Amino acid sequence: MCSLFCTVIVTGQDIDVSKLPAPAARRVDFVKDIQPVLERSCLKCHNATVSMSGLRLDNREEALKGGDLGVDIVPRHSAESRAIHFAGRLVPQLEMPPKGKGDPLSDEEIGLLRAWIDQGAEWQAGVVLQSRPKPAPGSETDKAGVKDSSTLPPPANGKVDFVKEIRPLLASKCYPCHGPSQQKNQLRWDVKAVATRGGISGPAFKPGKSAESLVIRLVGRLQPGLVMPLQGERLTSTEIGLLRAWIDQGAHWPEGLDPKGYTAPLIHWAYRPLARPSAPRVKGSSWARTPIDSFILAKLQEKRLRPSPPADKRTLLRRVTYDLTGLPPTPEEIQAFLADTAPDAYVTVVDHLLASPRYGERWARHWLDVVHYADSHGHDQDRPRDNAWPYRDYVIRAFNEDKPYARFVEEQLAGDVLFPAAQRFIVPAATITNLIRSRSGNITGSRRCLPESTGQTALMTSIPAFMYCGSPC
Ligand code: HEC
Ligand code: HEC
């Protein structure tokens, strides 16, 4: 019975995602925004003991694995996520919670779930969900659930001294798990730079705003299901008041208190958050039309060089056309550009070139080189690979559709999981070489190269995986 039914669901036909409430337009926090929704509305039937349709939502790994129908949550793609289709009641007979078995989610809750998925379905490490029925409105537990910052002990009066009053407190109650020996959630309170940067959830305190600071919400029991210290003696009201006052007074932390010999661990640039550097200030900066120009000008000046004069229109057109399509401009295109005296003539040309199918053909070549793509076998066995071109066309299409890079890589590493029922040609990493190796002319399956548990390694090794998958896996 299911096979017929499931096809409908899995292939996404008959699902009108435009009916879904829009994703919430803000950054969501799993513990604050998502955990309560799942715990109230879903956990009862999707947990470690009861897992309807094979789906567990109690921890991230299981939740992303999906259930009998396959993947239900597709990070960054809420509109393609079955969990959203079901919670949004788009699929008859598969409303979640099932009809009569629980209240439908509100539009706001669906918006939050969507935003959470679209933002990557982050899930603080170690948070395990438990079923928590919705409290009756106005009941004691309900009040506890909506505790706001007014329940926090007030900030202490008087100027707080970090060294005398705060540091000893952190040392006795927090260092055991956030100090030299352990750094839970990558947070340590004995190193200024790490404490101010925060752990995996981001900054733990906002100078001047104690009531909004994560650390205060955690020690003050405002965060559902989590309290700090996780074990051991809780902070007294006086201690919380001191911490609050320290944060409200600007979270002053004198230099020179880090443990002796501490050196910040090197973090590869790829794992750092994106930051916008400020453009260097340079003399003669009227030449610079964009902030990027300021960087170029600064380097030129450092080497005692002057910028070249602007190119004439014909040269400019030739350069940009080669650059974006790999071809020279046609005589007609040159005439048209020379005749176009509008101030944005160049912008028009660039838009036109980017929209050209030639753009993808030119730029796909770089990626195809990286993955050692070829239309024929090469060496002494040189013969056509009749079935290689769909991959080539997929890459070209990806460039022309402006597919985000992360998605492009994701599809190639995990296409089989992302599109379990796909009929069309999807390219997981291993197939590239499989496909190239296969002499029978068949596309030999869609195995992924890396075990699921090695997410990090997968990132590090995705390029070698693309290139060398054929033999090891
Ligand atoms: C009262 C029990 C119950 C609750 C509560 C519930 N579900 Fe379900 N869920 C089910 C059952 C039963 C199925 C199997 C449905 C079927 O195949 O007909 C299911 C199946 C699913 C599936 C398909 C899993 C797969 O891949 O096979 C998803 C996704 C899902 N539920 C999501 C949710 C979400 C999200 C919530 C909370 C908003 C939720 N469910 C709440 C009972 C429940
Ligand atoms: C017994 C161990 C333990 C102690 C002691 C402890 N913590 Fe934690 N802390 C944890 C664990 C585990 C987590 C991660 C919890 C999670 O996300 O599930 C955490 C997370 C945090 C976070 C969130 C970090 C992030 O970015 O996700 C903050 C802030 C925090 N702790 C502050 C404190 C403070 C302040 C103290 C002392 C008052 C303290 N902790 C004491 C174990 C501890």
| pTM for the model | 0.39
If DSSP codes are grouped into helix, strand and coil, which group holds residue 67?
A: strand
Question: What percentage of the chain has pLDDT greater than the value 70?
Answer: 82
State residue 339's pLDDT score: 97
Average of per-residue pLDDT across 273-288 = 83
Average of per-residue pLDDT across 186-209 = 92
Average of per-residue pLDDT across 309-318 = 95
State residue 405's pLDDT score: 92
Q: Rounded to whole angstroms, what are the CA distances from 442 to 415, 428, 457?
A: 18, 15, 30
Q: Is 87 in the pocket of ligand 1 (CB under 6 A)?
A: yes
Kindly report the number of other CB atoms within 10 A of residue 399's CB atom.
20
Instruction: In whole angstroms, give the CA distance from residue 37 to residue 24.
Output: 14
Q: What is the DSSP letter of 156?
A: P
Residue 234 Cα to ligand 2 midpoint, Å, equals 12
Any bridge partners for residue 399, and if so which? none
Residue of the CA atom closest to atom 32 of ligand 1:
83
If DSSP codes are grouped into helix, strand and coil, which group holds residue 335?
A: helix
Q: Rounded to whole angstroms, what are the CA distances from 67 to 39, 55, 231, 415?
A: 18, 4, 34, 17
Residue 259 Cα to ligand 2 midpoint, Å, equals 20
| Of the listed ranges 101-110, 127-136, 297-306, 421-430, the one predicted with least confidence | 421-430
Residue of the CA atom closest to atom 8 of ligand 1:
96
pLDDT band at residue 416 using 50, 70 and 90 as cut-offs: low
The CATH number of domain 17-134, selected from 1.10.760, 1.10.3470, 1.20.1740, 3.40.50: 1.10.760
Residue 371 has pLDDT above 70, yes or no: yes
State residue 6's pLDDT score: 27
Residue 138 has pLDDT above 60, yes or no: no
Residue 348 has pLDDT above 60, yes or no: yes
Instruction: In whole angstroms, give the CA distance from residue 207 to residue 291.
Output: 30
Residue 184 Cα to ligand 2 midpoint, Å, equals 6
Candidate from 96, 106, 117 with most ligand 1 atoms within 8 A of CB, to mutate: 96
Residue 85 Cα to ligand 1 midpoint, Å, equals 11
200-229 pLDDT, tens digit each: 888 999 999 999 999 999 999 888 788 999
Average of per-residue pLDDT across 422-450 = 40
Average of per-residue pLDDT across 430-445 = 37
Which of the pair, 150 or 246, is modelled with greater confidence?
246
Which of the pair, 268 or 465, is modelled with greater confidence?
268
Cα 470 to chain centroid, rounded: 29
pLDDT band at residue 199 using 50, 70 and 90 as cut-offs: confident
State residue 417's pLDDT score: 72
* Contact of 328 with 362, CB cutoff 8 Å: no
State residue 432's pLDDT score: 40
pLDDT band at residue 8 using 50, 70 and 90 as cut-offs: very low
For the CA of 199, the nearest atom of ligand 2: 26
Residue 453 has pLDDT above 90, yes or no: no
pLDDT band at residue 144 using 50, 70 and 90 as cut-offs: very low
Question: What percentage of the chain has pLDDT greater than the value 90?
Answer: 51
Residue 45 has pLDDT above 60, yes or no: yes
Residue 15 Cα to ligand 1 midpoint, Å, equals 17
| Of the listed ranges 312-316, 357-361, 433-437, the one predicted with least confidence | 433-437
| Of the listed ranges 7-21, 43-57, 453-467, the one predicted with least confidence | 453-467
For the CA of 87, the nearest atom of ligand 1: 38
Residue 136 has pLDDT above 90, yes or no: no
Q: Is 194 in the pocket of ligand 2 (CB under 6 A)?
A: no
Q: Is 174 in the pocket of ligand 2 (CB under 6 A)?
A: yes
Q: What is the DSSP letter of 276?
A: -
For the CA of 176, the nearest atom of ligand 2: 5
Mean pLDDT score of the chain: 81
* Contact of 431 with 451, CB cutoff 8 Å: no
100-126 pLDDT, tens digit each: 888 899 999 999 999 999 999 999 887
Tokens read off for 119? 């933002």
The closest of 208, 207, 229, 232 to 220, measured between CA atoms, is 229
Instruction: In whole angstroms, give the CA distance from residue 331 to residue 336.
Output: 9
Q: Is 128 in the pocket of ligand 2 (CB under 6 A)?
A: no
330-345 pLDDT, tens digit each: 999 999 999 999 999 9
Q: Is 83 in the pocket of ligand 1 (CB under 6 A)?
A: yes
| Of the listed ranges 151-165, 185-199, 439-453, the one predicted with least confidence | 439-453
Cα 165 to chain centroid, rounded: 39
Where are the CATH 1.10.760 domain residues in the chain? Answer: 17-134
DSSP codes of every residue in 249-300: TT----TT-SPTT--PPP--GGGSPP--PPPPP-TTGGG-SSHHHHHHHHHH
* Contact of 37 with 102, CB cutoff 8 Å: no
State residue 249's pLDDT score: 96
State residue 282's pLDDT score: 84
Residue 34 Cα to ligand 2 midpoint, Å, equals 19
Candidate from 58, 185, 233 with most ligand 2 atoms within 8 A of CB, to mutate: 185
Residue 147 has pLDDT above 90, yes or no: no
